[in-house]
Amino acid sequence: MPDQKGSADPRPPAAAVSLLEPQKEARPAAGANLLFLREEEIRTAQDLLFFAYRDFTNAADVILEELGLGRAHHRALHFIGRNPGITVSDLLALLRITKQSLARVLTVLMEEGYVAQAQGHSDRRQRLLTLTPSGQALERRLFERQRERLLAAYREAGGVAVDGFRRVMRGIMDDSARAYLDRHDPAESRARRA
């Protein structure tokens, strides 16, 4: 198959680090080349995000399909599992979808007995969401699939790489998402103090 672009790239590995610096234009030719490389780096990152996300989410699809659920259900299960007692509005803010989209998903998850609601303690308008034992079991099954993939990748890449992965991923996301991670898992905030 095509996928043209055979031309091998003879550039030296040293390029990787220098790409990240503003590059004060040492020489015109080198500067232009580095600019090109920088762009190529970024475009490759687009590819990486697309493929990694696609295949990562894909990992759980088999199980979901068996049960007639979709990825939206998985995402809800994941975040409820990780934040037991989360309110509906907080979950909405995390997922960044509308109330109606979430409602459809939650309705199914509650009908199937994977998610339970409880009335808020301080504020009785709130519905605190938790996974039932059966919901926990399902979430774990889904998790295991993704875990395999991730663990294999982590092992191959090594600890230093994993740390770099985390730092870059944190850098890509919004401030609010970073804040969530810090709140949720303070240990992760090691990455902040780069």
Given the rule CB under 7 A, which residues bind DNA? 68-73, 75, 87-90, 96-101, 103-107, 117, 120, 122-127
Rounded to an integer, what distance in angstroms lies between the CA atom of residue 62 and that of residue 85?
Answer: 28
Looking only at residues 34 through 73 of this chain, which bind a copy of itself when binding is defined by CB under 8 A? 38-56
Stretch of residues binding a copy of itself (CB under 8 A), selected from 12-20, 23-31, 61-69, 111-119: 12-20
Q: Which does 103 bind (CB under 5 to 8 A by kind): a copy of itself, DNA, none?
A: DNA
Q: Choosing among DNA, a copy of itself, none, which partner's interface includes residue 66 (Cβ < 5 to 8 Å by kind)?
A: none
- 3-state class of 54 per DSSP? helix
Beta bridge partners of 130: 116
Residue 184 binding a copy of itself, by CB under 8 A:
yes
**Least distance from C-beta 139 to DNA, angstroms?**
15
Residues 6+ apart with CB under 8 A from 60: 71, 74, 142, 145, 146
Taking the C-alpha atoms of residue 143 and residue 184, their distance in angstroms, rounded to an integer, is 18
88 binds a copy of itself (CB under 8 A): no
Q: Are 108 and 114 in contact (CB under 8 A)?
A: no
Query: What is the number of other CB atoms lying within 10 angstroms of the CB of residue 139?
Result: 19
Minimal distance, residue 23 CB to DNA, in Å: 35
Contact between 154 and a copy of itself by CB under 8 A: the answer reads yes
